[in-house]
Amino acid sequence: MTRRIGYARVSSESQNLDLQIEALQDCEKIFTDKQSGKNNQRPQLQECLKFLKTGDTLEIWKLSRLGRSASGLLELLQDFRDRGIKLKSHTEGIDTDSAMGRLIYGILGSIAEFEREIIRENQAAGIAAARASGKKWGGKKPIADDKLLAVAHFIQDGKSTKESCKIMDISVSSWYRHKKRIEKLMPGPVLEKTPA
């Protein structure tokens, strides 16, 4: 059975929800928020999103009541589409249960994908520019085996682990992380001095 769920929002406590609630009076349940629509983290909107199930219709008085930013609105519409929730906006006459409404969903989905593509392209361009300017990209540069082998030889010659690592500019924790691998490259185990 399809449920009709309403959502109404005004931007501040001093504003009135009566006009929107009157338009949504035939809904089974109405969720209301009195705060800015800049983001989707509004308490009653979040409750409404949890309450909605596949096949439900969310009714709003106007699209701007659902969200003020295009990206936030597109995020919600994509979620509705993915979950099989219909949307009906009274003022704009949008009803995603109709052919025109499904076309609008398709267009909005394409716009959202276009925005994601633009973001990916901008990220790729930024990475390329950073590399071209000589900035390091990725994690720490791996420690060369010859540096680690030198630490092992210093230790075998009687120097402390700390002193050997300091000479080769390697942290003690890095030495211990790579020690087993380096010991396989050596004829025998690396015997470390124990502090007295």
Q: Which residues carry out catalysis?
A: 11
Return d(Cα 70, Cα 64) in angstroms, integer.
9
Return d(Cα 25, Cα 115) in angstroms, integer.
36
* Cα separation values, 23 from 4, 20, 45, 103, 150, Å: 13, 5, 18, 25, 79
Strand pairing class (29-34; 4-10): parallel
